[in-house]
Amino acid sequence: MSIASTKMIVCVTGTVWTGSRSAPRRMLVKDGFLRPRWFTTGRPLTDAEYKVISSGEYHMAHAEDKVLVSTEYSGDFIGIMAEDFEVAANDSKVGVLVVGPPEIAAQLASEFPGAVVFALKDEDMKLSPQLAEAERKGQLQRLDVDVFKPNAWGEVHEIMLNILGLPPGDFSV
């Protein structure tokens, strides 16, 4: 896989936005990040762009090392193919943004030592054990979010940009 060393890799995981209409679904996209196309062997789970493939296609791609990251979810597989990740990295201005479960974030952090993982949690929520290695390596940034606080997502966006060393952005959705 050929990705320019100047491209950032950012993962966002956590569950604080579930059900929230002010969700950070496009956070960082306006700042030059692109989200790669996901694959699923079942049905799409989020608003991400999905490619539906068969279980056989998944296993064949996995055997051929074409699957960059994946996890089993409700009996199906979801993930990102290496080629789709590379396209997003090369087409983006700043880097790749992957919003997904902690298993995917952990795999990407393991694959890319420079990746930054943001775990967006309510103050009382525990971190997923899958993120322990990313935390040990200093890749994990836990951000406690009070979704009921006015401008909570705007503040989170500013904190993320600051951690990434990027100029302030606009979080209007």
If you search the block for the tokens 């997923």, which residue do you land on? 128
Give the model's confidence band at 124: pLDDT under 50 very low, under 70 low, under 90 confident, else very high. confident
Going by DSSP bridges, is the β-strand pair 67-73/76-81 parallel, antiparallel, or unpaired?
Answer: antiparallel
Scanning the structure block, which residue is given the tokens 């002010």? 22
Q: Mean pLDDT across the chain, nearest whole number?
A: 88
State the pTM of this model: 0.89
User: What are the structure tokens assigned to 38, written together?
Assistant: 């996901």
Task: In whole angstroms, give the CA distance from residue 110 to residue 16.
Answer: 24
Q: What is the pLDDT of residue 25?
A: 61
Q: Are 9 and 113 in contact (CB under 8 A)?
A: no
Task: Say how far apart CA 30 and CA 172 lie, in whole Å.
Answer: 9
- The model's confidence at residue 173, banded by pLDDT at 50, 70 and 90, is very low
Nearest to 11 by CA among 140, 107, 118: 118
pLDDT tens string 70-120: 999 889 999 999 999 999 999 999 999 998 899 999 999 999 999 999 999
Closest CA to 152 of 167, 128, 171: 171
Domain residue ranges of the chain, discontinuous segments joined by +: 14-19+34-164
Indicate the Cα dihedral angle 139, 144, 149, 151, nearest 10°.
0
Q: Please state, in angstroms and rounded to a whole number, the distance separating the CA atoms of residues 141 and 120.
A: 9
| DSSP code, position 149 | S
**Closest alpha carbon to 98 in 110, 113, 85, 114:** 85
Q: What is the pLDDT of residue 146?
A: 86
CATH classification of 14-19+34-164, choosing from 3.40.50.300, 3.10.580.10, 3.40.50.800, 3.30.63.10?
A: 3.30.63.10
CA distances from 24 to 14, 28, 65, 84, 101 (A): 11, 9, 31, 22, 15
Pairing of strands 76-81, 33-34: unpaired
